[in-house]
Amino acid sequence: MEKKKPNENVKCEICNIEICSSTFQQHVEGQRHKRNADAAEHRRRAEEKCGIFVTGYPLTISQDELVTYFSKFGSIVWTYFAKNYSFIDFSDPAVVRCIMQTAHELHGKNLTIDYRKPKPINIKPDPNLEDTEATIESLKTAESFQQQLRILTWYLQGRTNGSKCNIICRDFRKILKASFPRCTIFPFGSSYTGLNICNSDIDIYISELRKDGEDDLQYLQKLKSLLNKSNCFSNVIVIGQAKIPILKCIHTPTNTSCDVNVRNLLGVCNSRLISYYISINPKIKEIMLIIKYWAKVHKITGRNCYFTNYSICLMIIFFLQSTSYKLPSVKLLQSDSIFDIIQEGWNGGFKPLPVDAPDLIAASSITLLRDFFSFYASFDYNTYIICPYLGEPIKKDLFEDPNNPLEDFNAYKEIISANKSKPLKTNATICVQDPFEHSRNTTPIVTKITLNNFMLYSCHARKLCEDGEQALLYKLFTESPRNVQVEKVMMKQFTQFGVNMSLNTTYLRRKLHEADSSVTKALKDLWFESVRDFALITLRDFLKFSVEENGGPSESKLTKTDDQTDIHCGEQFHIASFKCSAKLNLWGSRKAALKAFDKTHNNLIDKETEITKQLQEMYKHIDSQVNVIEFEVILKKNYEPAQVTFMLKRVYSYKKTFNDFCSFFAHKFGIWLEEYENDLNNDTG
């Protein structure tokens, strides 16, 4: 039997297209394939005649009445209700045959019933979704490297709205200017450097907001309150347990995720530094985009054990500093103290110097790519640190000895000796030092397998560059070297959020008989217990989860999970751990149910319990023998500041149920808790 060639085309039967075998797995994991697979599943059920199309009923009829009527014939598994027509699927095709043989009447109207017809699968490409295979195939036939580059740039950035970042910053200013007239909005990250791709998040730093005595969390909570009152932002969540607390939200007009912080000015400085190096020569941005995408498709960058995009950018800059291209070191850029920007002891300022780099001007983009891959295919990662600050490799053992003078790192020595930061992690597989925050290794958890794969791909990419420009980008993105290993990492679906203790805790002070305003450890412990109890109320009573409490030590220290990135928690302790499952989605329709709710109940628990009863009544005829969601939730407590962190890990979920629930719960729990505590404070019984 003839062995299949590594780049032979393979046909996807779902999408009815042929794809290069090397990108087939990427296609299967993509949105286009998943969308067509869902459509194929609906088509299969329709072809097996498990569903009916219903019309002719009066416009006054409710979905509940229609479902109640047809549930008499058999078990219903899916419904879609519109004003003048509905689709209903049953678990058994025999039920549908029985319905088709019977006349039906509701409210004096004869119903028209037909089999639900299969809907053709739409295989037309959606311009709003990534169409990786089509783009890569077009790179194969491009006439020149510049044409390949134009195709790739259009694919990565051509559909982005260049003014989106400005629109988002403008809306932040509008909302904040009344309460914080002196604040300044700084975008940073890939949206600032111009290395963003379609649907990239926006990172924002807001300065001059904090009043004396306020910490980051207090400020972010005020910001959250202002954003919630606006029509521009939704899904506003404060994550306070991170090393740098952030606020996450969605800018509704552009449907863009935003991460906001009020402390990390160094993030802005890092982005300005990358932008400065990009501005030296347009070829630098070209190779950064190519290498960024190359690393993505070959799973060199990503979460957990992989490189970050930021570390890859630093490696490109370092390569251009330490070779004949002679880009200036960060130390040289910081030689003029007038430009210093001191943040927590680190200097993030620099003077943008003009650069005379004849070798860089003379080199083509292909030559730069070849030299980059060659440089890192043979770099001694065991011995040397990649140090953009000095622009040259520095031995790891210089940082391992605390008595080493380290003449170029005075700020580092002062900060480490004062225990304001942990030493640089040089014992990692690879050490890419941050150019400003010298105690930070930007690649602390890259594994040996990932580094080895990076070197193998770099060696192979160097050879491709040497072969010439014909279909070069196509080959870079599709061809793989031998001996590449797969990093076996369990990719858990995970989310976490935190709720902070408010000062409005009269109901707890009554238990302790405290009249003063101090927040004692005993008061915090009572609050932790109260949050745990209320979490059970929301899960069991409001949302009707089956909740099973896990055993385990009650004071075990928090360990970092696989899916956490840049989460450096303070000392946290276990409060509780639950296994949760549900057969019905009782959270997705709560907002609609609340609008029609009889607001005679005065407290939260009665109100939400009544809404749950109404939803259960509406869904009583839906077949609910199978769980739609299963997950674990862990509650951790932190004393300074007093906070409970919720950590949710997916076990099983039907389609996007887990993600939808996490978004709902992270947004709603804090609102519910505040209302619940107000009820307890007002209860004088």
Q: Which of 633, 647, 347 is nearest to 497 (CA)?
A: 647
Name the CATH superfamily housing domain 164-263: Beta Polymerase, domain 2 (3.30.460.10)
Q: Does 314 have pLDDT greater than 70?
A: yes
Q: Which of 478, 432, 430 is nearest to 455 (CA)?
A: 430
Contact of 32 with 125, CB cutoff 8 Å: yes
| pLDDT tens per residue, range 382-393 | 999 999 999 999
pLDDT for position 382 = 92
Q: What is the pTM of this model?
A: 0.58
**Average pLDDT, integer, range 428-456:** 93
Weakest-pLDDT range from 175-179, 270-274, 383-387: 175-179
Weakest-pLDDT range from 267-276, 348-357, 371-380, 587-596: 587-596
Work out whether strand 109-110 and strand 112-115 pair parallel, antiparallel, or are unpaired.
Answer: unpaired
Query: Considering the chain, what is the average pLDDT of its residues?
Result: 81
Q: Does 19 have pLDDT greater than 80?
A: no
| pLDDT tens per residue, range 611-659 | 888 888 777 666 556 778 889 999 988 877 788 889 888 887 776 788 8
Q: Which residues does 439 contact at the CB level (< 8 Å), separation at least 6?
A: 412, 415, 416, 421, 422, 423, 424
pLDDT band at 129 (very low <50, low <70, confident <90, very high): very low
pLDDT for position 552 = 44
| pLDDT tens per residue, range 20-49 | 665 666 666 565 666 676 667 666 666 778
Weakest-pLDDT range from 160-164, 407-411, 435-439: 160-164
pLDDT for position 598 = 56
| Alpha-carbon distance values, 181 to 172, 185, 246 (Å) | 12, 11, 21
Q: Does 125 have pLDDT greater than 60?
A: no
Contact of 578 with 547, CB cutoff 8 Å: yes
Taking the domains of the chain in order of start, what are their residue ranges?
48-115, 164-263, 281-478, 494-682
Query: In percent, how much of the chain has pLDDT > 70?
Result: 79
Highest mean predicted confidence (pLDDT) among 123-127, 207-211, 263-267, 301-305: 263-267
Read off the DSSP letter of residue 339: G
DSSP string, 14-80: TTTEEEEGGGHHHHHTSHHHHHHHHHHHHHHHHHTT-EEEEE---TT--HHHHHHHHTTTS-EEEEE
Query: Sign (positive/negative) of CA torsion 588, 590, 591, 596?
Result: positive
DSSP string, 152-219: HHIIIIITS-TTHHHHHHHHHHHHHTTT-TT-EEEEESHHHHT---TT--EEEEEES-PPTT--HHHH
Weakest-pLDDT range from 296-305, 469-478, 562-571, 660-669: 562-571
Q: Rounded to the nearest 5°, which phi and psi values hold at 25? A: -65, -40
Q: Rounded to the nearest 5°, which phi and psi values hold at 19? A: -135, 145
Domain 48-115: state its class.
Answer: alpha beta
pLDDT for position 484 = 76
Place of tokens 């990250």: 189
The DSSP H or E segment spanning 508 is helix 506-512
State the distance between the two ends of the chain, measured CA to CA, in whole angstroms.
83
pLDDT for position 320 = 97
pLDDT for position 132 = 63
Distance CA(119)–CA(39), nearest Å, equals 8
- 552 half-sphere exposure, CB direction, 13 A CA radius: 15
Domain 281-478: state its class.
Answer: mainly alpha
- 217 half-sphere exposure, CB direction, 13 A CA radius: 14
Q: Which residues does 428 contact at the CB level (< 8 Å), separation at least 6?
A: 441, 443, 444, 445, 446
Q: Which residues does 136 contact at the CB level (< 8 Å), separation at least 6?
A: 20, 23, 474, 477, 478
Distance CA(669)–CA(488), nearest Å, equals 35
Q: Does 333 have pLDDT greater than 90?
A: yes
Q: Does 279 have pLDDT greater than 50?
A: yes
Query: In percent, how much of the chain has pLDDT > 90?
Result: 31
pLDDT band at 500 (very low <50, low <70, confident <90, very high): confident
3-state helix, strand, coil in the chain (%, to 5): 40, 20, 40
CA 508 to chain CA centroid, nearest Å: 36
| pLDDT tens per residue, range 525-555 | 889 899 999 999 999 999 999 998 875 433 3
Task: Say whether 520 sits in a helix, a strand or coil.
Answer: coil
DSSP string, 246-270: EEEEEETTTTEEEEEESS-HHHHHH
Weakest-pLDDT range from 252-266, 286-300, 362-376, 619-633: 619-633
**Average pLDDT, integer, range 429-456:** 93
